[in-house]
Amino acid sequence: MQEIDGLRPKLKEKLEWGPLATFVPNKDQPIYNWFYYKEGFASELVFNLLEQFRLKPGDTVLDPFCGSGTTLLACKEKGIDCIGFDTLPVSVFASRVKTQNYNIGEIRQISKEILAEKFKYMKPEMPKSYKRFFTKPTLEDIEFFRKKLDMIVANDITASDAGFGVDTNRVTLITPHDEETLPLLSKEEVAARVVAWVAEQLVEQG
């Protein structure tokens, strides 16, 4: 209680920070918006709190419910160490993806190698209904690349309530050995399902 009482002088009502207590502001922020998290909050809220408590490089922040990784990423931007953990595999995965140190050159090289693969015609082994969704060349590309990629997310753009210009989408998750067509979902829900699938695969791989 003495420690809490010692913090009371620093605790003040900041009603103007109210809009920052939602994930909405992150939707326009690169990397922060990679994974929509309904219960999340804005990166600016973290920045304000870091300033409020005068934290600086060399200090360490603990986030025991890291969610989509907003606190970890914001601290990384400011050069402040941050430890985060969560019981949800999808939260751990999203946080790791957002705070990873990426080698842009390596990513470009891998992409170049994949796209440089000499195309070999492979008869599409997919339901006939797919012909309504994709052109023949696209179907051939999917069949060719599905053996080389972990997953392809194929969008259904034939329906007026899915795809471009609307907030909902209907996609099919295609893997080398299986596929699953999702029902009509919001684009945020589609993203969450895709990330959850990836998280499950990582857990199974250990």
Query: Can you list the residues of the chain whose pLDDT is less than 50?
Result: 1-2
Q: Which superfamily, per CATH, for 117-205? A: CoaB-like (3.40.50.10300)
pLDDT in tens, 40-55: 999 999 999 999 889 9
Q: Would you say 93 and 195 are in contact if contact means Cβ atoms under 8 Å apart?
A: yes
Residue 195 one-letter amino acid = V
Query: C-alpha distances in angstroms, 138 versus 122, 142, 167, 173?
Result: 12, 6, 24, 15
Give the strand pairing for 171-174 and 179-181.
antiparallel
Query: In the prediction, which pLDDT does 76 show?
Result: 95
Give the Cα separation of 150 and 69 in Å (integer).
24
Q: Which superfamily, per CATH, for 2-99? A: Vaccinia Virus protein VP39 (3.40.50.150)
SS3 assignment for 30-77: CCHHHCCCCCCCCHHHHHHHHHHCCCCECEEEEECCCCCCHHHHHHHH
Q: Which residues of the chain does CATH 3.40.50.10300 include?
A: 117-205
Query: In the prediction, which pLDDT does 8 show?
Result: 59
pTM: 0.60
Give the Cα separation of 39 and 30 in Å (integer).
18
pLDDT in tens, 27-36: 888 889 888 7
Query: In the prediction, which pLDDT does 84 show?
Result: 96
What token pair was written down for 5?
A: 């009482």
The residues pairing with 186 across neighbouring beta strands, listed in sequence order, are 168
Element (H, E) at 13: none
Q: Which residues of the chain does CATH 3.40.50.150 include?
A: 2-99
